[in-house]
Structure 1
């Protein structure tokens, strides 16, 4: 079984708020989120009406699509969080600032250190830097002969590129419409004309069915 990608709040808010969970799961498969990220999505959905649909989506998703990872202090998780944070996990979890991103990376690292290849679905710049640094560390360990897995970074843009030309985004107009709606939710997304989404190969050379 291929391990589930571990997702941060940003991509979840993007797709769940627009009721585009089918697109997300069709593209990356079933997903896992740390408990703190699940709660972050719920809180954001309650605070900001733009994201209200995300809470309804969370409530209806079965475990086969969305697994919530326990953030309980375990030896493995505590070791990783303490190393990333520079303080004991018990102390780090008292501060909510950037905690979701850290727990995403920490859960992914625990799985990778056990030998799995884990995709990390995250948009946040600091979180991506942390995940990239951990991916490089795992590469060094593997080259030194350690039996560890890998981290692979993906993002909202990765999901859109992989969904392009398929059922949920069959043409440029559907991509243009969805991207415009996403930018109303996510100010970290570039203007459409500064991306490659309108010039993807699938628009002129359709994907195999």
Structure 2
């Protein structure tokens, strides 16, 4: 058998060449573990300074400790699972979750950068609940009742069935809610109550919140804000 240039390819050389090529194909097909491993230290840099000159980092709103700003409804990120945070960043970047602030920032990030900053915030201990919580004991007690038992007469299922009995969440399916900002939670519940899906996972919540009264939404939000996370205040 001849090459185009007329030289003979001996069987042994041909087999060696095929094996060498096959080896290169195998190497190319192997995933780059270093590239796929989230780097929380790199995520900290993104949180602190962002990824583009002239743009602030995530910490401008969510703070470096991931506590957010409860008084203005900016959510806490510390304590969420990295998988959930990365999922939501992907939704913002792909316009599957609408937010005029978050979407432009998410689109600046590569997939690896999303992984890194998600890993950073997931690694942080949750801040303790606010000391001067204006919610009354009665409001929080009602929120606890709705969260744990639902309002079956109105078709409201117990929130804890998906979000966990202590609001600890279930990965990307149901986020961690314990200690989250009450104004932020109330804003989300009211959006679902009005029929907004929010993101591809939101149809279940839209159905659930539609049956809730506004008073019960306020109560659940107040109760959840008062819950300490499992590692609240712990040093890492």
Common fold, TM-score beyond 0.5? no
User: Going by fraction, where is strand more abundant, 1 or 2?
Assistant: 1
- Give the TM-score, by structure 1 length: 0.30
User: Going by fraction, where is helix more abundant, 1 or 2?
Assistant: 1
Q: Rg larger in 1 or in 2?
A: 2
